Amino acid sequence: MPQFDAGDEVEITACEDDPRAVGRTGRIVDEVEPGPLTGGRWTVHGIGLLIGPVLCHSHELAKTGR
């Protein structure tokens, strides 16, 4: 499972929570590993004007390196 840190920029390759987010980039919000409250999904913010924060599984995200 890829490890992400708060502020990491990621590309959303799939998103069960909101399919409109696929192909967009955003930033990880979580300071710690996601737990049972989010179903093990990471919170991604800053995706677009009309798309709020989404919850994504690790396999649905790819680090952009920025």
CB atoms inside a 10 Å sphere around CB 47? 20
3-state class (DSSP) for residue 44: strand
* pLDDT tens-digit profile, the chain (66 residues): 568 999 999 999 999 999 999 999 999 999 999 999 999 999 999 999 999 999 999 999 999 987
Question: For residues 41 and 49, what is the distance between their CA atoms, to the nearest angstrom?
Answer: 22
| 47 neighbors 23 (Cβ within 8 angstroms) | no
| 8 neighbors 63 (Cβ within 8 angstroms) | yes
